[in-house]
A and B are shown apart, each in its own frame.
Chain A
Amino acid sequence: MLQVKGLSKIYPGRRGSPAVTALDDVSFTIAPNSAFGVVGESGSGKTTLTRCLIGLEKPTRGEMLFEGRDIARLSPQDMREMRARIQIVFQDPYASLNPRMSAQDIIGEPLLIHHDRLQLTARARTDRVVELLERVGLGVRHLHRYPHEFSGGQRQRIGIARALAVKPQMLILDEPTSALDVSVQAQILNLLVELQDSLKLSYLFISHDLGVVRYICDRALLLLHGKMIEEGPVDQVFDHPQSDYARRLIAAIPDVDPARSLHLTA
């Protein structure tokens, strides 16, 4: 479905500072209806990768083929159409929703933006928004509420509903649960699993939480300073990492198992 080949992004240095290589020759393939995890710490290039995929940045080199067409080389018209097929859910559900728009306006916005292709009447749009709200576990009663009236988990559900509005084939999930409590995180993760099944979606799941990536994803990619460190099926990446960095990173992940506590290892 999505094939990324030799993707590099170099930011030219400004005012004498050296150029920054944010992505260095990254390649991977996401199969239809599968979930692909991208794991890395800050500065690893995760964010640059998503920005390239949704067309907010142009890569310096390489290709991003979505069903055979390179995302970086689309005309503005085709890019708009591509945006309906790859959607994104952001990390921070507090900042990613416009505080002055109601849930209806937020979820309905993609339908308005892509009106030229969808041709939905106002009535049909409202019906679709209600359907989406119900799809993500909210309801008609939430239609006219504003973001500040929702909890973090509910906001993230609205973010997911907005992403699903134009019936995309692929979702980019940028740390969708890292700002949430574990109890809420579990609800959202299960919602994502359920949506993937019923809507036959592909996921590009970005996270620093290996437990979450392992739970959601089939394959995973480990990035360090823009370079690929590991890539493969999640069990292989996490249980039999090839590189030292991967081993160290995996060891650093806190686990709820007390047997791995400092007291017993120190």
Chain B
Amino acid sequence: MSPQQSAHPSRWQNWQRSLYRFRQSGLSIAGLCIVLVLLVIAVAGTWIVPFPDHITGGINTAARFKPPSSLNWFGTNELGQDVFTLVMAGARVSLIAGFGVVMIAALLGGLIGALAGYAGGWIDDVLMRLTDLMLTLPSLILAMAIAAALGAGLDNMVFAISMSWWPGFARLVRGEVIAKKEDLFVQAARALGASNSRILFRHVLPNVMSPIIIKMSLDMGFAILAVAALGFIGIGVKPPTPEWGSLLSLARGYLPDYWWTAIFPGLAIFFAVLGFNLLGDGLRDLFDPKARR
């Protein structure tokens, strides 16, 4: 057997073992299913919805406030638009925005946290005081301020939320890096004469990826919630682009009579948050060596 071949069975087996552990938990599987359905909807939503023209602002005043029926599964809103179509289309905006927030926050926070944790001393002090400062600002207010200064829109909203999101990652990564920095294999690398960048990128960071990925999954739900909250208060994606928060906000005025206009975007947010949280918990079980089954 050549060395190239021998790598595969063992790596494949690791994957299978991980999958086995993941499958032990029904809730993780439920989370994964919800997230997969959301992804499919986000990618294919605009092609599979019954009323594609409603996504781009098409209206049908003849069919205002129709309750849920076989034609309009989630009913119609004040403009006669199909709520099912809008909720499906909203998935894309929410997911892209949530993912964008988490990615930017993880990259920026991770970089700052890793640098602070690894360098220590005054660099650590300066960076972490900056992080603390960001944490003292109420995140929604900060995001509102940034969005107000830069103007509405998806990019600005994502940027605004990320700015209030990265300190969480910075603190997590800093703590993990400080813990890993003292590990014996890191000392071994140092004793070999390895450079700082080699130690950080080859030895420390790969070993702190698990908690980062777990936090990213858990945070996805809350990022989607934050996006919806900004949409709800009117900063963020502008109509007619459907977004769950702004759909809820518009529907607010028609409660309780036309409950379906609000309940379905609300449920969409609920399931998205739930799905990513369950998935995150499942990933934690998967990565945590102490929880091995």
Do these two chains interact? yes
Measured CB to CB, the residues of A under 8 A from B are: 54-56, 79-80, 83-84, 87-88, 90, 92, 95-102, 104, 109-110, 113-114, 140-141, 143-146, 149, 159, 162, 166
B193 and A83 contacting across the interface, CB-CB below 8 Å: yes
Tell me whether A80 and B184 are in contact in the complex, defined as CB-CB below 8 angstroms, given that A144-B6, A144-B7 are known contacts.
no
The binding surface of chain A is classed by DSSP as loop
CA distance A96 to B192 in the complex (A): 12
**CB nearest to A50 among chain B residues:** B191
Inter-chain contacts of A166 with B (CB < 8 A)? 192
Answer whether A145 and B192 are a contact pair too, CB < 8 Å, given A95-B185, A98-B185. no
Contact of B188 among A96, A100, A141, A146 (CB under 8 A): A96
Q: Is the CB of B3 within 8 A of A113?
A: no
3 shortest A-B CB distances, which residue pairs?
A: A144-B7, A95-B184, A83-B193
Flag whether B293 is at the interface (Cβ < 8 A): no
Give the contacting residue for B183; candidates A95, A102, A162; CB below 8 A. A95
Q: Is the CB of A141 within 8 A of B203?
A: no
Residues on B with C-beta less than 8 A from A97 are: 185, 188
Judge whether B190 is part of the interface by a CB distance below 8 angstroms. Answer: yes
Q: How far is the CA of A98 from the CA of B184 in the complex (A)?
A: 9
Which residues of B161-196 have CB atoms within 8 Å of chain A's CB atoms? 183-185, 187-195
User: Complex Cα distance A30/B85, Å?
Assistant: 81
Per-position 1/0 for B196-222, Cβ under 8 A of A: 001000110011000000000000000
Q: Do A141 and B1 have beta carbons less than 8 Å apart?
A: yes
Q: Are A144 and B190 in contact (CB under 8 A)?
A: no
Interface size on B, residues (CB 8 A): 24
Which one of A98, A141, A146, A149 has the greatest number of beta carbons of chain B within 10 Å?
Answer: A98
Instruction: Flag B24-50 by CB within 8 Å of A: 1 or 0 each.
Output: 000000000000000000000000000
B-chain residues with CB within 8 Å of residue A90 when the two chains form the complex: 184, 187-188
Of A56, A83, A98, A110, the residue contacting B207 (CB under 8 A) is A98
Q: Do B191 and A56 touch across chains, with their CB atoms under 8 A apart?
A: yes
Main secondary structure of the interface of B (DSSP, over half): helix
**Whole-angstrom distance from the CB of A65 to the nearest CB of chain B?**
19
CA distance A98 to B206 in the complex (A): 9
In the docked arrangement, what's the CA distance between A150 and B4, Å?
18
* B189 to chain A: closest residue by CB: A109
Question: Contacts of B203 on A, CB cut-off 8 Å?
Answer: 98
Q: How far is the CA of A159 from the CA of B189 in the complex (A)?
A: 11
In the assembled complex, B69 has its CB within 8 A of some CB on chain A: no
CB distance A145 to B10 under 8 Å? yes
Please tell me if the beta carbons of A56 and B184 are within 8 angstroms of each other in the complex. no
Output the nearest chain A residue to B5 by Cβ-Cβ distance: A144
CA distance A104 to B184 in the complex (A): 19
Residues of B within 8 A of A162 (CB): 188, 192
Q: Mark B3-30, 1 if CB is under 8 A from A, else 0.
A: 1101100100010000000000000000
Contacts of A95 in B (CB 8 A): 183-185
Q: How far is the CB of B9 from chain A (nearest CB, A)?
A: 10
7 contacts between A and B (CB under 8 A): A83-B192, A84-B193, A90-B184, A95-B184, A96-B187, A109-B189, A113-B193
B192 with A110: CB separation less than 8 A: yes
Q: B residues within 8 A CB of A99? A: 185, 207
